[in-house]
Amino acid sequence: MNSRLDATRAIYRRWLRLYVPAAALVLGASTVAGFLLGSAVPMDSLPTGEGAGTGPFPALTTVDLAVNNLVAMLALSLGAVSLGLVTVLGLVVNGLLIGAVVGIAVQQVDPLVVAMLVVPHGILEIPALLVASAVGLRFARLTVRYIRGLEADLVTRRDLREAGWLLAVSALLIVVAAYIEANLTLELAEAVAGEELVAA
């Protein structure tokens, strides 16, 4: 039991303690920027019309969402092949998209409805993406250290094993979040809004 706990703590120190906060900072700043941009979109430029619903909330399946987010997760984890650029760019793009969608949505529906659309699956999806980003950032750092001659090996078997476990957990969270988003969050939001939100 103690050895398993020690191993978990070691993984946390190596992979999560520094890199998750760094990834969260980039994602958070990008989300705020995206929100400000989305909020600045004029209301008359937003989609309206009969049968168009009350907001930009297209119906997506669990598979659609899972595949999309798993691809994003894998892209975020590819820090080693780009010295972290792909990971950072992925965080920025995802943050801008999240913020812009929320910024546009709150102009059309109640903020509580928007929260119901984001929070139930977001509490699983965002940590999963941050963990994947942490993997990418740590591999990027290891690559830089190897190029500078500070590491004997580019990666070790332990690194690959631990990264594999972290990405597997992230993938599981992504799939569960996709199911929640496809099957639960819209119903909860519509119950709060008292009307359908799916765009035609």
SS3 state of residue 198 = strand
Which CA distances in Å does 125 have to 7, 47, 128, 139, 142? 25, 27, 5, 21, 26
pLDDT at residue 93 above 60? yes
Task: Kindly state the tokens that stand for 166.
Answer: 């972290």
Beta strands in 94-153 (DSSP E): none
Share of the chain above pLDDT 70, in %: 88
31 Cβ contact list (under 8 Å, min separation 6): 95, 96, 98, 99, 102
**Interval 20-49: pLDDT, tens:** 999 999 999 999 999 999 888 776 655 554
Domain residue ranges of the chain, discontinuous segments joined by +: 2-193
**Residue 198 bridge partners (DSSP):** 57
**Interval 138-162: pLDDT, tens:** 999 999 999 999 988 888 999 999 9
Mean pLDDT for the stretch of residues 190-198: 73
Q: How far apart are CA 94 and CA 63, in angstroms?
A: 19
Which is higher by pLDDT, 102 or 198?
A: 102
**Interval 4-21: pLDDT, tens:** 888 889 999 999 999 999
- Is residue 17 within 8 A of residue 141, CB to CB? The reply is no
Mean pLDDT for the stretch of residues 171-182: 95
